[in-house]
Amino acid sequence: MTRDPGRQPERTRLAWRRTGLTMTVVAGLALRLALTGGVTGAVLAAAVVLLWAGALVALWGRAAGRGPLGVDTRSLPSVALATAGVALLSVPLVLRGVW
C-alpha cells in the first residue's frame, strides 16, 4: 500500500519551482524598468538582482526536495521578504516619471 497516494512532497517541490520561475519573471520586469533610468536606476537594478539571487538561494533546497519537511526552514519568510522588497524597490522606479 502506498503511504501517500497524494504525492505531497513532489507537489510541494513543483510548487516551489513554479514560484521560483514566477519570481524570475518579475525580477526581469523590474530590471527592464530599472535599466532605463540612469544612476539611481542602476543602483535599484543591482538591489533587485541581489534580492532575486537571495530568493533563489533560499528556495533552491526546497525546490530540490532536500532538507527536512515541515517548519524547519527559513526559506518561506526569506522568499516572501525578497518579493516584498522587489515590489517596494519598484515604487520609486514607477514614480520617477511623475516628477
Partner 1 sequence: MPDVKRIIGTVREVIRRWFDPSEVKRVGTTPDYRFSLANERTFLAWLRTGLALIAGGLAAAQFLPPLPLRHLREAIAVALLLLGATVAIRAVNHWTRTERAIRLGEELPVSRFPAVLALLVALGALLLLGAVLVKGLGGR
Q: Shortest approach of partner 1 to residue 74 CB, angstroms?
A: 5
Phi-psi region of 7 (alpha: psi -120 to 50; beta: other; left: phi over 0): left
Q: Which is nearer to partner 1, 46 or 84 (CB)?
A: 84
Q: How many CB atoms lie within 10 A of CB 13?
A: 16
56 or 81, CB closer to partner 1?
A: 81
Query: Which residues are near partner 1 by CB under 8 A?
Result: 4, 6, 8-9, 11-12, 15-16, 18-19, 22-23, 25-26, 29-30, 32-33, 69-74, 76-81, 83-84, 86-88, 90-91, 93-95, 97-98
Contact 78, 54 (CB under 8 A): yes
CB 34 within 8 A of CB 43: no
